[in-house]
Structure 1
């Protein structure tokens, strides 16, 4: 090699091979122009018009769905009486709590089952009393517990007391339970349950003591209603097996109060139901009370 020959170019030095592959971190916001994807070709004007139409229809559908959901939620959260077209006129019934028959002692049958044709109630008599409806003011002396024969007798006219007291003794009433309340409209309600040793004794007391087992014959006069007549509006169809109801009402709406009364005979138990109100005790809540108390005694 002469001194006039050019020196050979030095080969680039390759870095030594790493023992582990290096970690590559992509730049957070920078991208080389060479690596960027190619820009899409602009759509033809007709394609853009179609896309705009689809967008408008999609927005309209979403708006309708939103309005429909909002309306459904609004109706679902409203009370029935607040929804136009769904309001129902109040028919006068009272709002009683949900009723259930009381538990029985183990092995004891229901009063009118095949195992107890005598109509004996084995449940606590106080648990068979109809509870007071919503909005009622409870009577402190008739609070759903036991009461005396004298308190029961106080419902009747004074002249009837001797005969009824004698019958209570002769047929040996065992227990008397009672509940009373007053509604916001002024209606006063009272229920007495009298239990005897047998259905026969309860029936004899009802027949001879208070003259209660004939719809056409008024029973012993109440203190609040010396004269009563048959409640012809009462519909006895659909009654409870073994349970009979005998309702009466004071004629007209005069006097200090107007009274409706009824007896319910259910096996060994006799009930007296009384509703009083100045200007007229309404038929609907009275019949409702009578039906529900009959169900509890069935």
Structure 2
């Protein structure tokens, strides 16, 4: 039996400084004993094909760490850093996104239209808002066209009613012939100053129109509002109906809108109705009366109608 060859203990001082640093980073708190135990396991893979004669005689394992081991450690370290960076970047990206932008977390639309950001127009110098101190007559001193609600995104605007002045006949066109004659006489007896309007159609077929009528005083505006609606046994019913509408159901007075000084009267065409449904509202705001109409084949959606009335009301308040 041949004499068994023993591997002497590796002296810690013989390990190069670079290897010591690498092992320290990869395995925390590794002492000389751990290095001695780890070296024999690495011998089969790391011993060079040609072993120096001094090593063959003594049987000592070279202390220099093979390049393949160092390259493998470097590759794994880089991979960990890359995946860690990607994960952190993804987490930061998601936390900075709005809920509706994250796939799977989008908030379903409730039917509201996308209107432009609204703002009140500038007033002539020294002129107060209609419902503020010093304006007991509740007059709108701003250009009435600037108080008209703009069309929402995606709308096709009628070029004949795109925020400019319109005639009395254009305003009365949604009403029946007999009603148009009575309303025209009421307007002729008043001191109507001007009318502005905007009409548009949405991709789902909803047709909308908003008219603003400004009078020389609150009294004349009130008189015209009374020609549109009237009290009947404590309830307020419309005196005139849009063309094709045979009945009206009072939705309310816009109490949830809470715009001081304004008074909306909101109606809808009740069932059974024809091939389309109509919703409309009259708003008196000081010296101005607004008329909002929406019609759609089948059923006219309540949400965009209420949104349109609310926004127009706020512009007049």
Give yes or no for TM over 0.5. yes
Give the conservation status (yes or no) of the 8 Å contact 1:225–1:250. yes
Give the conservation status (yes or no) of the 8 Å contact 2:281–2:309. yes
Gaps of 5+ in 2: 1-13, 29-72
Give the conservation status (yes or no) of the 8 Å contact 2:175–2:240. yes
Give the conservation status (yes or no) of the 8 Å contact 2:254–2:263. no
The structure that is helix-richer by fraction is 2
Root mean square deviation, CA, Å: 2.8
Gaps of 5+ in 1: 1-39
Q: In 2, distance between residues paired with 1:227 and 1:254?
A: 9
> Deviations 1:85-121 (Å, cap 9, x if unpaired)?
5311100000000001111111111111101122100
1:153 shift after superposition: 1.2
Q: In 1, distance between residues paired with 2:21 and 2:149?
A: 76
Give the aligned length: 257
Aligned residue for 1:261?
A: 280
> Deviations 1:51-86 (Å, cap 9, x if unpaired)?
32368789746642332114433675x674341453
Q: In 2, distance between residues paired with 1:131 and 1:215?
A: 32
Q: In 2, distance between residues paired with 1:253 and 1:276?
A: 15
Pick the aligned partner of 1:210 from 228, 233, 247: 228
Q: In 1, distance between residues paired with 2:15 and 2:139?
A: 94
Give the conservation status (yes or no) of the 8 Å contact 2:254–2:265. no
TM-score, scaled to structure 2: 0.73
Matched, 1:287 2:306: yes
Give the conservation status (yes or no) of the 8 Å contact 1:259–1:276. yes
Matched, 1:197 2:197: no
Give the conservation status (yes or no) of the 8 Å contact 2:254–2:266. no
What pairs up with 1:95-244 in 2 under 5 angstroms?
95-207=114-226, 209-211=227-229, 216-231=236-251, 235-244=254-263
Q: In 2, distance between residues paired with 1:224 and 1:192?
A: 19
Aligned residue for 1:278?
A: 297
Give the conservation status (yes or no) of the 8 Å contact 1:249–1:259. yes
Task: Please give the secondary structure, in 2, of the residue aligned with 1:216.
Answer: strand
Q: In 1, distance between residues paired with 2:16 and 2:243?
A: 99
